[in-house]
Amino acid sequence: MRYKSLMLILVLLLVAPTLTAAESSVSYGWGFVKSKNGSIPEIGKYQQLLDKYHSYYLDASGDKTVYITFDNGYEQGYTDDILDVLKKHEVPAAFFITGHYVDSAPELVKRMVEDGHIIGNHSYHHPDLTKVSKEKMQKELDMLETAVADLTEQDEMHYLRSPRGTFSARSLKWSEDMGYTNVFWSLAYTDWKTGEQKGWQHAYEQVMAQMHPGAVVLLHSVSEDNAVALEKLIIELKKQGYSFRTLDDLVKQDILPKAVTQF
C-alpha cells in the first residue's frame, strides 16, 4: 500500500474534526515570533489549528535536527548550484514547486527526484487556497501531482505548502482529507526579492541567528545569496551537532515509536 494512502487511512481512523462557521471562514497569514538564542519560535493561536489538522512547522522532539525546504515558483539560475551543494554534503531537501516551475524547468525537477529529494505541492497556479472551492483546490493539487508524476519517478505527493503562506481551518481540513500533510516553517528571512540581495554573509547570518533544534527552514532558490551561503551553513551546522533529515522522518516519528524511527 502506498505511503499516501496509508496516511489517509490513519487520518480517517481519527475522529473527524468539525468546523464551525466562524473558524472555517477566517484566513490567516503564516507568521511566528522568531527564535532567539535557540528558542522555539512561538506561533500562538496557530498551534491549535496545526495540532487539530496534523500539520507541522517544526520538529518538536527537541533533537538537533534541521529540515531544509525551498519554495520554487520560477527559476533564476541558481538551483543547479544548490543541488550540487546538497549532493556534495549528502543533505536531503524538500522542494515545493508550482506548475510554472515544472513547465519551465523540467530538467531541474527531474534532477531533484533523481538526487533523492522530496517534491512538495505548492499548487499548480499558486492561488490563495483559502479563497477557492474544495473542487478547485483538489484540481490545483492533482494537476501539480500529475505533472510531476509524468516527468519523474515520484508518482505521489504527500506534503503541501500553501501559496503565500495563507491558510484557514477549512483549507487545512480539506487538504488533509485529500491526503496531504501541511508543512509551514519556523525559520525564514526576506530572500525572494532578487533585486535586494545583500550578499552571502547576510543570508548566512540571518539563518544562523534564528537557528534552533527542529528547525524547518524556508529558503528560495532564486536567491544568489542562498546559493553561495548554503554550503557554509551546512558545514557550520554539522560542526554544531545538527543533523539534516527529511519531511518523511518528521512525520514518521509522530506515527511510529522513536526506537523504530532511529533503527
> Dihedral of the CA atoms 193, 196, 197, 199 (nearest 10)?
-160
Cell 493539487 sits at which residue?
141
| Dist CA 38 CA 213 (whole Å) | 7
What are the residue numbers of the active site? 71, 220
Query: What are the φ/ψ torsions at residue 206 (nearest 5 degrees)?
Result: -65, -40
Q: What is the DSSP string of 187-238?
A: B--S---GGG---HHHHHHHHHHH--TTEEEEEETT-HHHHHHHHHHHHHHH
Angle formed by the axes of helices 247-255 and 3-13, to 10°?
Answer: 40
| Collapsed DSSP state (helix, strand, coil) of residue 118 | strand
